[in-house]
Amino acid sequence: MSGTRDSRSAALRLLLREIRPVTGTALIALAVLTVSVLATLAGPMLVQRFVDRATGGTTQSVLITIAVWYLVIAVTGGAARICSSYLAVHAGWRIADSLRMRLLHHVAVEAPVLEVENRPVGQVLEQVSGSADIVGQAIATSGFRMISNVLVGAGTVVAMSLVVPQAGLGILVLIVVVCFVLTRLSRRSRVRWEKARGQQAKLFGFVGDAIGARDDLLMLGRSRWAADRTRADLAALLHTEGRAYISGRIFWPVTQLCTAVFFAIGFGFGLRELQLGSITIGTLTMIYLYVNLLQGPLEDMSSQSGQMQQMFAVLAIAARTLPAETATGTPEPPAVSLPDGPLGIEFDHVTFGYGDTPVLRDVSFTVAPGRSLGIVGPTGAGKSTVINLLCGLGEPGQGRVRIGGVDVRRLPPLEFARRVTVLSQRAHVFSASVYENITLFDDSVSEDRVWQVLDRLNAADWVRDLPAGLRTRVGADARTLSEGESQVLVGARALLRPYSVLVVDEGTSRFDAETERSWTDLLELVMRDRTVVMVEHRMATLVGVDELMTMDGGRVVGAK
């Protein structure tokens, strides 16, 4: 029980943090909202006056004046409503995007790379964008309207209490009871929504995988299976999501039931007062209109609170993912910087494993500054893990990995990027231009620099032949590159940066004979004065290295 309370307060804290930047807009929206609420509440009072005057026998002009006043107030209220809704939408989507940025920043910058790589992209997207959209939608279409409904409800109770105190009191008591029941129901609904959303994310994770693998599935004759499995998963989701939906919308029938009781209370007391002659038929009409007025907001609130619950469910998940606010949090660790000049590399009795599966066992080696080391070994020997640890992507179970004498886990990412360059087989080609793929979206790099690098890679002609040269779009939604062509981009990416340490991760495996030769020449050139660690399958490209180390089964088995 305290767990849900914690998650709710965490969600609330997160929401308040997101609202802070748009406080001004939110306050103005609230002020305008109040105007529209007052206009709504004034309506029944004018009708009461109208009925009393009409039954009491008065001049037509008095009635017309009241009717005209009613119209004026109606129009003012309507204008205020639209105005406040504009401001609410504005604030809502600002908040949503700010949350989206925070979630994306967390995944892209803070979460461990290996963890992000191992999750289906569809699932991550669902959690980042899907969540933010729910929050935006809830605030823009429900949040402010819900406040307005609460105000209308409170105003109605006050107005009723003024004419028939017993009825006002009765309704107030009932509202308090109902609110208590609804909060209990809402807690249950939130838990159910969290569960449903988890299941949804899983389902879309699979769908995303199937879409990515559709050529594989098609040729294996298993496309139907993927669609059928999705159908089965959806059928299972129907139950979970249905329970969540109903527990979120149960408010509507409950409030409808309340309205019935409101009517009974309002008219029961009203009719008695009327019999006693202490109120008029006009006042009774007013009571009717007020009870009616209560019904609309209560009905709206059912769907709105459903949306709000979904929002809180999403926020609770987000709050769990996101670290607490850093502004007042732990002090930044002192900036560590690397010494100038070539850097040495040291693996000091490193052990590493996933769960209880050991991958590296007591691996030790050093590379002196400016020297180069080639690592060879059969597939699965643990070479990629050495690279991961060298890049600070994993925490060794035991031992230390140091670059330039500094523990890589303590190196700030920017300092790492400034001094270390990784050339990886796993490199991704972004859906962007060739230029952006090489500079990695850094506009400050001149085209001349890029051409120079391409020249050195013997790839300038290939790029020149592309329809828009450097500005040709490549990647998933444009021109797909062969693996060899992708490697050229990756090579250029690496060569563009100044660095002291070069890490090559099976980087040249797909070059043809000629390119492989020029690549070897190039490596020889750039390896000068730099520290290099190369992981390779083939000995050919390892000719230029100073030392060679053989790995097998997570151990160093030989060195020369």
Partner 1 sequence: MNTEQLGFGRFLRGAAVRVKGLYLSTMAVWSTIYGVPLIIGALIAAMLDHAAHPPVTAATWWLLGAAVALMVLRAVALWIGLQLTFVLIFRTSAWIKTEVLGRLLGRPTALGPARGSGEILNRLRDDSDEIGGLLEWTTDLIYRSVLLVIAVAVLATADLVMTIPLVLLAGGLVASVMLKKRVAATQAETRVRQGMISAEITDTLTGVRDLRLAGAMTGRLAGLYRRFAWRRTVQLRHQIYLDLLSDLFYNLVMVGTGVVLLTVSLSVARGDFSAGKLVLFLTYASWLGQQMYFFGKILARYQSGRVSYRRLAELAGDEPPRPASNDVRPLRELTVTDLTCAAPVGATAPRPVSFQVRPGELVVITGELGSGKSLVVRSLLGLQPGTTGSIRWNGAEVAGDRSRLGAPRVGYARQQAKFVHGSLLDNLTLGSDDVTPARVEAAMAAVRLCSGSEELPRGLDTWIDSGTAGQLSGGQRQRLSLARMLCRPADLYVVDDCDSSLDGPTARAIWATLPRQWPAAWIVVSRNEDLLAAADVVVNVTRATVDAGVLSL
**Binding test (CB under 8 A) with partner 1, winner from 66, 169, 172, 548:** 66
| Count of residues interacting with partner 1 (CB under 8 A) | 181
Name which of 8 and 290 has its Cβ closer to partner 1: 290
Among 331, 477, 498, 560, the residue binding partner 1 under the rule CB under 8 A is 477
C-alpha dist (Å) from residue 232 to 207, 227, 243, 352: 12, 9, 18, 39
Stretch that binds partner 1, among 324-332, 401-409, 429-437, 542-550 (CB under 8 A): 429-437
Please give the full DSSP string across 211-243, using - where no structure is assigned. Answer: HHTHHHHHHTT-HHHHHHHHHHHHHHHHHHHHH
Q: Which stretch binds partner 1 (CB under 8 A): 170-178, 326-334, 521-529, 546-554?
A: 546-554
H/E stretch holding 254 reads helix 251-276
* Least distance in angstroms from the C-beta of 454 to partner 1: 11
To the nearest whole angstrom, how small is the minimum distance from the Cβ of residue 490 to partner 1? 8
C-beta atoms surrounding 94 within 10 Å: 19
From 538, 546, 557, 558, residue interacting with partner 1 (rule: CB under 8 A): 538
170 belongs to the binding site for partner 1 (CB under 8 A): no
Residues 494-533 that bind partner 1 (CB under 8 A): 497, 506, 509-512, 514-515
**C-beta of 9 vs 264, nearer to partner 1:** 264
User: Is 369 in contact with 342 (CB distance < 8 Å)?
Assistant: yes
Q: Which helix (H) or strand (E) holds 376?
A: strand 372-376
Spatial separation of the C-alpha atoms in residues 245 and 247, rounded to whole Å:
6
Q: Of the two residues 195 and 418, which places its CB atom closer to partner 1 in the complex?
A: 418
Question: What x-and-dash track marks residues 84-123 binding partner 1 by CB under 8 A?
Answer: -xx--xx--xx--x--xx--xx-xxx---xx-xxxxxxxx
154 binds partner 1 (CB under 8 A): no
- Near partner 1 in 23-62, by CB under 8 A: 43, 46-47, 50-51, 54-55, 60
Q: Which of 148, 156, 189, 285 binds partner 1 (CB under 8 A)?
A: 285
Q: How far is the CB of 3 from partner 1 (least distance, A)?
A: 27
Closest distance of CB 517 from partner 1, Å? 12
For the CB of residue 198, give the shortest distance to partner 1 in the complex, in Å.
14
CA distance 309 to 298: 16
DSSP state of 339: P
How many helices and strands, by DSSP H and E, does the chain display?
Answer: 19, 12
- By CB under 8 A, name the one of 5, 320, 410, 428 that touches partner 1: 428
**Cβ 25 vs Cβ 93: under 8 Å:** no
Q: Per-residue string for binding with partner 1, 189-228, x by CB under 8 A?
A: ---------------xxxxxxxxxxxxxxxxxxxxxxxxx
**Residue 541 and residue 547 in contact, taking contact as beta carbons nearer than 8 Å:** no
Q: How far is the CB of 2 from partner 1 (least distance, A)?
A: 31
Residues 68-90: b if buried by 16+ CB within 10 A, e if exposed: eebeebeeebeebbebbbebbbe
Three-state DSSP state, 520: helix
Map residues 233-272 to x or -, x wherever contact with partner 1 holds by CB under 8 A.
-xx-xx--xx--xx--xx-xxx-xx-xxx-xx--xx--xx
Q: Which is nearer to partner 1, 5 or 20 (CB)?
A: 20
Among 384, 452, 520, 550, binds partner 1 (CB under 8 A): 384
Options 148, 425, 500, 531; binder of partner 1; rule CB under 8 A: 425
Say how many residues make up the chain.
Answer: 560
Extract the tokens encoding 459.
């790839």
For the CB of residue 8, give the shortest distance to partner 1 in the complex, in Å: 25
Among 338, 360, 381, 453, binds partner 1 (CB under 8 A): 381
Binding mask 287-316 for partner 1 (x = CB under 8 A): -xx--x------------------------
Contacts of 260 (CB under 8 A, 6+ apart): none
- Closer of 157 and 457 to partner 1 (Cβ): 457
Residue with tokens 């300092």: 415
- The H-or-E segment that residue 354 falls in is strand 345-354
Please state, as a whole number, how many other Cβ atoms lie within 10 Å of the Cβ of residue 46. 17
Distance CA 280, CA 52 (A): 7
Residue 493 touches partner 1, criterion: CB under 8 A: yes
Nearer to partner 1, 154 or 254 (CB): 254
Radius of gyration, alpha carbons of the chain:
34
CA distance 202 to 96: 23
